[in-house]
Structure 1
């Protein structure tokens, strides 16, 4: 599913677009009446131009408020996922450079392209994920377990944390490109806990 499919239209933009379309509808009805009366073709043509201009303005509003925002979000996500040596950095940089000048149709094409890059990066990241299980002897209650979860989930590169207070253990899934086992253990030690690798 493309990001653009799940972004909601802002209420003020929706109202603006509806008002513009109602105005355009009135202009179209006016053109029909002019045709019925066989009015001057030049005047009819001017009304067609006005209708086209109205549609163009509405398109541009949608472009800037929704499509461009969606692409900006996805570019940011791709940049965050790519550590700098992911094999896709040149493509991401190109789209980022083109971004300010893309028109509506180019935006939708670039959205598909950046989505494809992001999915590729996500798949590779999933494959590279590592897991460590630690025993923490001074994790003596559920409150401690929740605090440890909070400490670890705030670290960049941590995907999933599962604590078991009764077993005094924590299982951490992490991205080794962003954080290593030593840094995870250090974060816990600085917070007053005593982690050690669990014997499996």
Structure 2
């Protein structure tokens, strides 16, 4: 997509690059599940990814006194747009940043459509904007706002796989503490009415 290429060209000095290839998790699933994913192997995929960044170092103390320094890296978040020739569906995934030692968790299915007319410049630009929010929230290198956190939680909740129970655990919109606060705020008008009646 020209939009992704233009963005990658503008941002390349910040370590953002775009590649046109199958994402890691798709290749791994294809190897594990075999012929059932043949159609996915033939799909068209565009990946916009943050580059590898140093996120710090740690001192490893050995019993013999020979200390070593380990440098830690973060492999940046990925925006994956997948078009399946078989189903004629366009799926957009956000993959979390990860350290080199860990595997990426299940990607977020941000959106999907069966209508290729939806794929416009504004649509692609909107994906990039939300992808930057996702990376800002998930990356160890960046600060995020409460609004960023709320957006990512909403996207996780509305992931159709989450609502249908296909994922390992269900993601709620609110945390238990937030539910308690919402319940208390909702109870205030009722308490005021009771006070007026019995006051």
Both structures adopt the same fold (TM-score exceeding 0.5): no
Structure showing greater relative contact order (alpha-carbon pairs closer than 8 Å, 6 or more residues apart): 1
For the aligned pair, the TM-score class normalised by the smaller chain equals: under 0.3
Select the structure of larger CA radius of gyration: 1
Which has a greater percent of strand?
Answer: 2
Which has a greater percent of helix?
Answer: 1
TM-score by length of 2: 0.23
